[in-house]
Structure 1
């Protein structure tokens, strides 16, 4: 990596034991030297988006969330599919950022912890592109953890670390960030 990078990870599932959170934590723990990944803990705390609460009326937790987005070099998003769509909490968090200046052209990597969920991936891609975020397609990571026991999930993650899949995706993402900075 050329320069230290800070990545901010958004988990669409608010369950502490979610497979998407586990994947984000594995990415965090596998990050190469000079790269730190912070997993967002604010999504479940955000109030329901209301345009009347933007500007001077913006809630403090939304300002805190936006500040995290502003200060990071790139965003990693992992989310499940709920009823063929994006989880409401993640969509709500993104809605709070739509009219703000933190996100345009910010690089995004999508990580997916399931062998299914293509409806949510399509919707997530559409929302992120509409918000002018810059998807780094070559860094897309799909590791199937859904429906597996905790022990099997740990084995799949360990194999993905050993094989270099997690590191490879992160290196591609960080290289894209550094290219855009040059």
Structure 2
């Protein structure tokens, strides 16, 4: 059984990205478990002076979760053509650790409009030595939808199958490494 950690780069309560990672976790294939990391908003701002013995508990929890995961899935909004600060901060906590090195990662998208953030996030993660899985693009256009509309879209059989297929393809990538 593979363990995958899913991270939403949004702190918004009615986040489309958080809804997407929750739906991915709920629709994961039987041969993997997708755990959602929910501590993004509790991470202190990264400071290299706070690494090692001084690593804050929430940062240590993130580092441990990524370290023990077989793979990472990220769904992230775009703010001002870039990666939101909270998501970048989380990655900064991982940058000097081995947690990211060679770790399989896949980006999924809740909006077709987040092209700049997609490119920036992929570049950041490649630079950190994540092994990016980019063969399948998982996108469900949830932008602008109310929670009930998101729920309806995410429970449509075609979208549920698309999520299962994307995660299964990612599982194949992880196992093939």
Tell me whether 1:64 sits opposite 2:61 in the alignment. yes
1:14-163 to structure 2, matched below 5 A, reads: 14-159=11-156, 161=158
SS at match of 1:139: coil
Q: TM-score, normalised by structure 1?
A: 0.92
Q: Give distance in 2, aligned partners of 1:145 and 1:98.
A: 30
Please list every run of at least 4 consecutive aligned residues from structure 1 whose deviation after the TM superposition is greater than 6 angstroms: none
Structure 1 residues not aligned, in runs of 5+: none
Give the aligned length. Answer: 177
Q: Give distance in 2, aligned partners of 1:101 and 1:67.
A: 11
Q: Deviations over 1:113-159 (max 9, x none)?
A: 00201010011011000000011012331110001233332232123
SS at match of 1:86: coil
Q: TM-score, normalised by structure 2?
A: 0.95
Match in the other structure for 2:8: 11
RMSD: 1.3
Q: Give distance in 2, aligned partners of 1:160 and 1:115.
A: 20
User: 159, 165, 168: which is aligned to 2:165?
Assistant: 168
Structure 2 residues not aligned, in runs of 5+: none
| 1:23 and 1:113 in contact (8 A); partners too | yes
Q: Give distance in 1, aligned partners of 2:137 and 2:25.
A: 15
- 48-57 or 157-166, larger mean C-alpha shift: 157-166
